[in-house]
């Protein structure tokens, strides 16, 4: 919604309330201040915005859209044009409402994004698609789409809860915990094209402040850096730099940096450097999550091919079976053969992998380390005009001390506490004697919240 649209919503709501009171006795009419509060509550628009809009309407008899020009990034119309940084920011904005014990609605989020010139502009359809990509669903409390509450998809909530419970358990067991990540820097102009911090650091979780560069170009030569660290600092010998050339213009680090083979080779080499019984935390990026078996039989397979697949995995087929029965056996075997490649490699070294949910980069302290390294590289470039980005990165890594790493991990623990609260707060606010059911609408699931516990 643009400014004019939500102003129209306010005015129409005001007209409706005035019409309802037209034939009421004077003592029963609602005060103007209460009308503002009521409209604000019904639409999800702040009272100040409602008051300002109605003052303009009462004075001029009409409303106008503010004539303000902002230096925004180029308008984004597709999901591909919105990188992980902005997606992570949108999710954080939604979570901030829950942390303030306020229900997030579509229009509330859009207003904040409109007011922040760092965000690109979105069409309504694009925003719906981004929300779907971010695993959010819309909960309709009323028939007005602008009043839809934004809640996360159930599997993402469960993933986050499992992660938070697991990391807490492993800390209680005093197991060594390492954090792994990758990023890249341009060999041509690091000050403008370093993709470093794809999330807001934990200290700014509530303020929506940003660190590092946004909208960097992915063109030209790049240097990929892969590293791993813990509260004791970067692992000695754990870093690797790769020089690559790409014509792809991308601001998303994971879209352009590491292929499966490079990552697996590096990951295998660093495992002996880690302590025994270690936990390795990483994102759910595709090169972190390659399946050991990339495919399994489906109905499109011939029966004999399914039998061959089953027998190759130790299953004995000693009687004639129809295809559905064969696929039932495939489903039973799935947990045994649906593992990730690097998980098995880690297990062979007495270590385990723990993956962070999508768009939860602030749970990885490595992002704070990247920001520190990026700042060092930019400062050196600005003062000395050094072009050897590999040398600058290595020196930047040396500048990140164990004390800094300990602080990074402690700040991430604070973020974990906030995430822990978010899910309980959302349940508390929505659990108001209402029933919730999902129905399909357009490209995104819509959850309808009813006042009755007996709705079917």
In contact, 202 and 412? CB cutoff 8 Å: yes
Amino acid 241: pLDDT: 83
Indicate the helix (H) or strand (E) that contains 192.
helix 190-193
DSSP per-residue codes, 341-360: HHHHHHHHTT-EEEEPPTT-
Amino acid 378: pLDDT: 77
Amino acid 192: pLDDT: 38
- Mapped onto helix, strand or coil, the DSSP state of residue 435 is strand
Helix-then-strand count for the chain, H and E:
16, 10
Amino acid 353: pLDDT: 94
Amino acid 176: pLDDT: 96
In contact, 303 and 378? CB cutoff 8 Å: no
Residues of the chain with pLDDT under 70: 1-5, 43-44, 63-81, 140-147, 187-221, 244-258, 293-295, 337, 381-387, 432-456
Amino acid 455: pLDDT: 43
Is the whole model's pTM more than 0.75, yes or no? Answer: no
In contact, 342 and 280? CB cutoff 8 Å: no
Among 215, 174, 170, 208, CA closest to 194? 215
Q: Work out the burial of residue 186: count CB atoms within 10 Å of its CB; fewer than 13 is exposed, 13-18 middle, 19 or more buried.
A: buried
Domain spans, the chain: 4-60, 79-152, 178-247+254-418
Amino acid 10: pLDDT: 80
- Domain 178-247+254-418 belongs in CATH node 3.40.50: no
CA angle 12, 16, 18 (to 5 degrees): 115
What are residue 222's DSSP bridge partners? 186, 244
Q: Which two tokens stand for residue 54?
A: 């109605």
Amino acid 75: pLDDT: 47
In contact, 354 and 284? CB cutoff 8 Å: no
Contacts of 449 (CB under 8 A, 6+ apart): 139, 140, 141, 149, 430, 434, 435, 436
Percent helix, percent strand, percent coil in the chain, to nearest 5: 50, 15, 35
Contacts of 250 (CB under 8 A, 6+ apart): 83, 218, 256
């Amino acid at each position: 919604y643009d400014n004019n649209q939500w102003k129209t919503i306010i005015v129409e709501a005001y007209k409706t309330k005035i019409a309802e009171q037209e034939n009421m006795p004077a003592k029963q009419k609602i005060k103007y201040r209460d009308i503002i509060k009521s409209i604000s509550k019904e639409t999800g628009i702040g009272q100040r915005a409602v008051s300002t809009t109605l003052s303009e309407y009462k004075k001029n008899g009409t409303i106008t859209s503010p004539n303000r020009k902002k230096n925004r990034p180029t308008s984004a119309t597709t999901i591909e044009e919105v990188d992980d940084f902005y997606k992570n920011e949108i999710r954080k904005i939604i979570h901030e409402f829950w942390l303030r014990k306020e229900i997030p609605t579509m229009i509330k989020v859009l207003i904040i994004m409109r007011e922040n010139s760092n965000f690109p502009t979105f069409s309504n359809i694009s925003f719906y698609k981004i929300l779907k990509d971010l695993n959010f669903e819309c909960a309709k409390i009323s028939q007005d789409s602008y009043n839809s509450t934004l809640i996360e998809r159930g599997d993402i909530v469960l993933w986050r809860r499992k992660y938070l419970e697991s990391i807490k358990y492993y800390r209680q067991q005093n197991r060594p915990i390492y954090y792994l990540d990758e990023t890249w820097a341009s060999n041509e102009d690091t000050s403008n094209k370093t993709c470093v911090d794809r999330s807001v650091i934990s200290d700014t979780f509530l303020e929506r402040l940003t660190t590092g560069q946004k909208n960097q170009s992915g063109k030209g030569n790049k240097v990929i850096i892969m590293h791993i660290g813990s509260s004791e600092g970067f692992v000695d010998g754990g870093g690797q730099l790769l020089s690559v050339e790409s014509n792809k213009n991308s601001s998303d680090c994971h879209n352009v940096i590491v292929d499966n083979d490079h990552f697996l080779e590096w990951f295998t080499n660093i495992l002996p450097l880690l302590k025994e019984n270690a936990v390795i935390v990483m994102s759910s990026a595709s090169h972190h999550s390659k399946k050991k078996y990339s495919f399994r039989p489906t109905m499109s397979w011939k029966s004999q091919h399914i039998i061959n697949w089953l027998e190759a995995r130790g299953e004995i087929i000693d009687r004639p079976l129809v295809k559905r029965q064969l696929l039932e056996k495939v489903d039973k075997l799935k947990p045994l053969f649906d593992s990730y490649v690097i998980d098995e490699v880690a297990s062979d070294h007495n270590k385990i992998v723990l993956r962070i949910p999508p768009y939860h980069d602030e749970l990885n302290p490595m992002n704070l380390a990247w920001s520190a390294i990026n700042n060092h590289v930019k400062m050196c470039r600005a003062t000395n005009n050094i072009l050897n980005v590999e040398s600058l990165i290595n020196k930047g890594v040396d500048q990140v001390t164990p004390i800094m790493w300990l602080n990074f991990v402690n700040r991430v623990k604070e973020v974990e506490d906030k995430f822990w609260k978010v899910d309980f707060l959302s349940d508390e606010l929505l659990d108001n004697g209402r029933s919730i059911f999902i129905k399909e609408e357009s490209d995104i699931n819509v959850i309808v919240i009813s006042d009755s516990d007996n709705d079917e």
